[in-house]
Amino acid sequence: DQQVKQNSPSLSVQEGRISILNCDYTNSMFDYFLWYKKYPAEGPTFLISISSIKDKNEDGRFTVFLNKSAKHLSLHIVPSQPGDSAVYFCAARPLRETSGSRLTFGEGTQLTVNP
């Protein structure tokens, strides 16, 4: 049972345009969401997060939007740069989980930004 789902395995955009990566979740207990970025031969690294008390969080070129009623979040990258080409993982957890910061990840989306 995939509780966090990224339906697009890949996305290709032109440099300078907007990249939009989508993520859906099914577990209503999730209330903290993170995006990780992964380059080849490296481990995933934290990019940006959002808690359920917000519907938007922005950090430079990266913005994450959360729609709790739809159980959907998206990552916007504007403008996209070739260096953004990587696999992006969406992850979620219950904010007040007592058993540790256990994250549930999606399948990942390969973003390719073409010069």
Partner 1 sequence: DAGVIQSPRHEVTEMGQEVTLRCKPISGHDYLFWYRQTMMRGLELLIYFNNNVPIDDSGMPEDRFSAKMPNASFSTLKIQPSEPRDSAVYFCASSFPSGTDYGYTFGSGTRLTVV
Q: Shortest distance, CB of residue 51 to partner 1, whole angstroms? A: 9
Alpha carbons 53 and 114: distance in angstroms, whole number:
35
Q: Shortest distance, CB of residue 26 to partner 1, whole angstroms? A: 15
With respect to partner 1, which residue has the nearer C-beta, 69 or 102? 102
With respect to partner 1, which residue has the nearer C-beta, 34 or 111? 34
Alpha carbons 7 and 101: distance in angstroms, whole number:
25
Alpha carbons 55 and 99: distance in angstroms, whole number:
26
Q: Shortest distance, CB of residue 29 to partner 1, whole angstroms? A: 13
Q: By the criterion CB under 8 A, which residues form the site for partner 1?
A: 2, 6, 9, 34, 36, 41-46, 49, 89, 91, 93, 95-108
Alpha carbons 69 and 16: distance in angstroms, whole number:
31
Rg (CA), the chain: 14
